[in-house]
Amino acid sequence: MTAGKLLRLGDVLLMRGLVAMEDLEAALDRQREQGGPLGESVVALGLLSPEQLQAVLRDIPALPFTVDATGVSRSALLGLLLKFMRMEGCETLPELGSRMKLHQSVLQELLAEATTQHLVQALGSVQQGLVSYMRYSLTDQGRVAAAEAMAQSQYLGPAPVSLAAFQVQVGRQAIANENLVEDGMRRGFSGLSMPANFVRKLLPAVRAGRTVLLYGPPGNGKTSVGSRIADMFRDVIYVPYAIEVSGQVIKMFDDTLHKLYGGETSAPALSSGEGLLLEGFDARWQACRRPVAMAGGELTLEMLDLGFDAGTKFYEAPLHMKALNGVLLIDDFGRQRVSPTELLNRWIVPMESRIDYLKLNSGMSFQIPFDELMIFSTNLDPSDLVDPAFLRRIPYKVEVAGPSVEDYRQVFAAAAAQRGLTIEGGTLDHIVRRLQEGGHDLAYFQPRFLCEQAFQLCACFALPPVITREVADEGLENLYVDLIAKTPR
């Protein structure tokens, strides 16, 4: 029995793009006819080689069946078990397993030890469905031990994984494993107007998982790049709920950043197939998409340290640690409350050595792999931000310039067509002239903004769906306030 949701091998193969749905259906049909594990059928049909299948299985955190195999100290797990029994009234193996995400053999080992120490006592069995389970309760001594465990740390969640296991797992699921190609990246940026050489400049950085500086005037898609890149990634990564370091708990999983692979790729026929269930999966980890974390002007150096809550007495992983194996976008670089030089100083070692160091309140330091695509995005001139020595430490620099007049016309025509609008002759020349005379650069976001303005205006006042000069002028007033006084009346 595993605690919590079981991972489907079929989902993993689909999510990574290793097999197609119809191929997986065929493998499932073969498995129903001949038996055996799903992976055996996948290999027999020639969908994957044995080596490819083993590589997939090797990346999945294996289920521990003993306390020692969890990699976490026995006292920490025992304390967590006692806290769940006291704070949430857990009495049976299924109740403890669903919260601690541990196999029943691990829980039985912990309960046996707790019984020997007179911390818990058996109350007799209870029927849950077709299965009978033993009920346990805390003794007086156990309630005292649970209270002491709560005083040391109020963490009450899935059992943590060890730092060593976390380090190994991050290394296994490196960004460089994705092996993106040019066609895939161009498809990923479809619908987003970018300079012609953008993919050629950016793809090597993404494949290497190295630091990128995006610079150029506002409104040309720099901020959109991070999320678009993450959508191109196919690999499943595994994120632990929490990590134990020197007896301390660091909460890692963040549902605002770590989006679960919930089996949305599975057909109903697959969802019910037991052959797809991967029962050896360690439920202390969540199968996720690669994360995209973003920080802007609010970023401080303190936010790059472990966050310790004096009330709960456990740690929260900093943003860049939660972004491991994903994308970290530093937006509006140069406008933070900390100087660009100080910020880059903090990341010099991680960017070059691919290792970062964090420190507990006790003063103990530990290292974590630094595998993430770090993107600095700025509207400022890079030479004004930091000196040349710092710029050299950022291996990829990509200018995201505004469109030419001809590109602007094409983007505008596409945006108007998408909204069912036509453009009156001479209107585009009028828009370009108004912007340039007002001292505003052409930007890729402007056509979509102005077309949306025109669409709403025409709909509200029953006007023909045509962008005239007058309609464009009203949109321009909403685009830039300093154009209002200059709009002809």
449 or 297, which is more confident = 449
pLDDT score recorded for residue 267:
33
Q: Give Rg (Cα) of the chain.
A: 28
Q: Provide the token pair at 195.
A: 């300079």
Q: Residue 387 above 50 pLDDT?
A: yes
% of residues, the chain, pLDDT over 70:
93
Q: Residue 275 above 50 pLDDT?
A: no
pLDDT score recorded for residue 276:
38
Q: Is residue 444 a contact partner of residue 194, using CB atoms and an 8 Å limit?
A: yes
Q: Residue 362 above 70 pLDDT?
A: yes
Q: Residue 270 above 90 pLDDT?
A: no
- Name the nearest CA neighbour of 470 among 456, 483, 487, 447: 487
Q: Residue 350 above 70 pLDDT?
A: yes
The residue type of 76 is: A
Q: Residue 194 above 80 pLDDT?
A: no
In the chain, what are the domains?
73-159 (1.10.10.10), 165-399 (3.40.50.300), 405-483 (1.10.8)
Pairing of strands 466-467, 212-215: unpaired
pLDDT score recorded for residue 5:
46
Range among 26-35, 52-61, 236-245, 390-399 with highest mean pLDDT value = 236-245
Q: Residue 329 above 90 pLDDT?
A: yes
pLDDT tens digits along 425-473? 999 999 999 999 999 999 999 999 999 999 999 999 999 999 999 999 9
pLDDT score recorded for residue 72:
97
Range among 134-148, 194-208, 219-233 with highest mean pLDDT value = 134-148
pLDDT score recorded for residue 262:
55
Q: How confident is the model at residue 89 (pLDDT cuts 50, 70, 90)?
A: very high
Q: Is residue 82 a contact partner of residue 149, using CB atoms and an 8 Å limit?
A: yes
Q: Residue 487 above 60 pLDDT?
A: no
Q: Is residue 214 a contact partner of residue 278, using CB atoms and an 8 Å limit?
A: no
pLDDT score recorded for residue 59:
87
pLDDT tens digits along 37-50? 888 899 999 999 99
Q: Quote the CA–CA distance of 272 and 276 in Å, as a whole number.
A: 8
Q: Residue 55 above 90 pLDDT?
A: no
pLDDT score recorded for residue 483:
83
Q: How far from the centroid of its chain's Cα atoms is residue 109's Cα? A: 35
Kindly state the average pLDDT of the residues 189-195. Answer: 76
pLDDT score recorded for residue 261:
74
* Secondary structure (H, E, C), the chain: CCCCCCEEHHHHHHHCCCCCHHHHHHHHHHHHHHCCCHHHHHHHCCCCCHHHHHHHHHHCCECCCCHHHHCCCHHHHHHHHHHHHHHCCCCCHHHHHHHHCCCHHHHHHHHHHHHHCCCEEEEEEEEECCEEEEEEEECHHHHHHHHHHHHHCCCCCCCCEEHHHHHHHHHHCCHHHHCCCHHHHHHHCCCCCCCCCHHHHHHHHHHHCCCEEEECCCCCCHHHHHHHHHHHCCCCEEEECEEEECCEEEECCCCCCCCECCCCCCCHHHHCCHHHEECCECCCEEEECCCEEEECCCCCHHHHCCEEECCCCEEECCHHHHCCCCEEEECCCCCCCCCHHHHHHHHHHHHHHCEEEEECCCCCEEEEECCCEEEEEECCCHHHHCCHHHHHCCCEEEECCCCCHHHHHHHHHHHHHHCCCEECCCHHHHHHHHHHHCCCCCCCHHHHHHHHHHHHHHHHCCCCCEECHHHHHHHHHHHCHHHCCCCCC
What's the chain's average pLDDT? 89
Q: Provide the token pair at 292.
A: 């995209």
Q: How confident is the model at residue 4 (pLDDT cuts 50, 70, 90)?
A: very low
Q: Residue 368 above 60 pLDDT?
A: yes
pLDDT score recorded for residue 474:
94
Kindly state the average pLDDT of the residues 215-219. Answer: 87
Q: How far from the centroid of its chain's Cα atoms is residue 378's Cα? A: 22
Q: How confident is the model at residue 279 (pLDDT cuts 50, 70, 90)?
A: low
Q: Residue 374 above 90 pLDDT?
A: yes
pLDDT score recorded for residue 230:
81
